[in-house]
């Protein structure tokens, strides 16, 4: 398996570099950044030891397609995609919160609910729900934007404003954009026979002060999808939902006794397991985009990326 686990470039006009959990960002002059989607896989805020073939390409291509599909309702950071693993865009000052929005009681919210909690991030959840039931209206449950190696933490709208993390005027825009994006994402998913269950959005300000959507959207790393067909029947029978998301990775880790807690050991990731994860990511790509996934040659991925990015930057200069 040939996967892209890390990069080390020096691009023209490069000023700085940042390594995230699964993406690497190169900051250039003129408020431009190059974001590279690696094949690293993270779960429970832990980067797992092995890469997933084609994962970076899949995430980047879904995200950029979704940016294009929502650009009419929310401005975004994207300028160009010179390589299947690369997005080039406007450098922004990120807001220090992630806007998580949930249409259904699933994942983290379901685990909190099962433990007896009826409030999450200051938002009430009604009695009588069971896992994967639909909320009457989508709810926003923000998290703090954690530093590398730390866990994101739930936070309420009230605390965000009280602590001055985001101004009230800016937060109102973030909420408006989050609801609009989730509505559009729900419509796109429905056309493909999917339900957009929950997702997260990140925002930042450009050099001129414009609030824009940044990072990825509607990918299996940032979103949870159910198959619409059979959803209600499975709920009525108290059966697990058929889903397309990274949740299957989390459940596999949980079954092996790993939830990212101190002292826990990441289970062995065999080549067969990594291949199976890749196939699940490809399935989501094809389902959500309605297009056949085309695998780009994966030999010397790092050299291919460097060549394509340098060529693009040279043409722009």
The SS3 assignment for 144 reads strand
Under DSSP, is residue 61 helix (H, G, I), strand (E, B) or coil?
A: helix
β-pairing verdict for 32-37 and 42-43: unpaired
Nearest-angstrom CA–CA distance, 158 and 132: 27
What pLDDT score does 1 carry?
A: 63
Q: Which residues contact 132 (CB under 8 A, 6 or more apart)?
A: 104, 105, 106, 110, 197, 226, 234, 235, 241
What stretches in the chain show pLDDT beneath 50? 148-149
Domains parsed from the chain with CATH numbers: 14-92+278-316 (3.30.200.20), 94-245 (3.30.470.20)
Angle formed by the axes of helices 271-289 and 55-70, nearest 10°: 20
Distance CA 257, CA 113 (A): 21
Tokens of 11: 């691009």
Rounded-to-integer distance, Cα 240 and Cα 248, Å? 12
**Two structure tokens written together for 128:** 């009588």
DSSP state of 264: P
Q: Which two tokens stand for residue 44?
A: 């429970």
Residue with tokens 């092995």: 50
Instruction: Using DSSP, state whether 107 is helix, strand or coil.
Output: helix
Model pLDDT for residues 78-130, shown as the tens digit of each residue: 999 999 999 999 999 999 999 999 999 998 999 999 999 999 999 999 999 99
Q: What is the pLDDT of residue 36?
A: 96
pLDDT at residue 145, as a whole number: 78
Give me the pLDDT at residue 17, please: 95
For 287, half-sphere exposure in the C-beta direction (CA atoms, 13 angstrom radius) is 23
């Amino acid at each position: 398996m040939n996967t892209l686990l890390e990069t080390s470039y020096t691009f023209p006009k490069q000023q700085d570099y940042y390594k995230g959990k699964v993406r690497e960002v190169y900051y250039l002059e003129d408020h431009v950044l190059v974001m590279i989607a690696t094949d690293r896989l993270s779960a429970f805020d832990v980067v797992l030891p092995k890469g997933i073939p084609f994962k970076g390409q899949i995430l980047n291509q879904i995200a950029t397609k979704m940016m294009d599909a929502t650009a009419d309702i929310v401005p975004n950071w994207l300028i160009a995609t010179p390589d299947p693993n690369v997005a080039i865009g406007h450098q922004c000052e990120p807001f220090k919160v992630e806007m998580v929005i949930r249409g259904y009681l699933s994942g983290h919210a379901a685990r909190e609910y099962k433990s007896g909690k009826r409030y999450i991030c200051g938002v009430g959840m009604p009695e009588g729900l069971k896992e994967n039931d639909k909320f009457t209206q989508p709810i926003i449950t923000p998290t703090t934007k954690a530093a590398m190696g730390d866990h994101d933490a739930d936070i309420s709208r009230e605390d965000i404003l009280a602590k001055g993390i985001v101004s009230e005027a800016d937060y109102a825009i973030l909420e408006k954009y989050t609801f609009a994006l989730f509505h559009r994402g729900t419509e796109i998913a429905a056309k493909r026979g999917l339900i957009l269950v929950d997702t997260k959005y990140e925002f930042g300000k450009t050099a001129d002060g414009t609030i824009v959507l940044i990072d990825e959207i509607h990918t299996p790393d940032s979103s949870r999808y159910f198959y619409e067909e059979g959803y209600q029947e499975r709920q009525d029978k108290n059966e697990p939902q058929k889903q397309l998301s990274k949740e299957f990775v989390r459940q596999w880790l949980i079954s092996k006794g790993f939830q990212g807690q101190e002292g826990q050991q990441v289970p062995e990731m065999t080549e067969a397991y990594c291949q199976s994860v890749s196939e699940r990511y490809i399935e989501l790509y094809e389902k959500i985009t309605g297009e056949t996934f085309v695998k780009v040659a994966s030999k010397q991925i790092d050299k291919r990326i460097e060549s394509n990015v340098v060529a693009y930057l040279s043409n722009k200069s």
